[in-house]
Structure 1
Amino acid sequence: MSLYILVRFSFAGRVTAGRRNYLARSKEKRIGYLRGKTSDGAVAVVSVSKVGRDFRIGCGIKDHLCHPSVRDIEGVRREALLVFDVRDAIYQSI
């Protein structure tokens, strides 16, 4: 006996397989950089990406998904200050 699974794509981006609903993943798009200084005075570059409605920031080899309440670049700057200790950050779009 073989098992057939019907997979449908709806307009909301949900993938339906049998009775389960899964959200389709959004592509990550790099939107710019934050350039600032760390607490010891070194220059830091933080990459800013948009994943669906959320923001993802990265500095060096570290990566961080921002809190869902972050919805604009000012929120991303605050998050970079809290996570990577990057001060006086200036945003540069791509």
Structure 2
Amino acid sequence: MRVDVAIVGGGFASMWTAIALLDRRPTLRIAILDAYCYGYGASSCNVGKVDGYRSSLELLSHQLGDSDALYAARLGDRSQDLVRNFCTASGWDCQ
């Protein structure tokens, strides 16, 4: 198989990456490779990644310092916005 991009792992992040790449360049040949099946297991449990870091801000402040902890929380907020926008714009049933 000849592809432009090979993505190892069939989790949601991998599938999202493939979709984002195709949005930017529809002619890309992309293969997603997974040993079991797509969207299964820990990669399907996305609440920890989508939830952000606001609930862990105090712990992060101790570990990273206030400035970096707030930066991480803002990145978590941004990821929520990106997921929300993707689900809305794509028309896919993402529930």
Taking structure 1 as the reference length, the TM-score comes to 0.20
| Structure exhibiting the larger radius of gyration computed from Cα positions | 1
The structure with the largest helix share of the pair is: 2
Which is richer in strand? 1
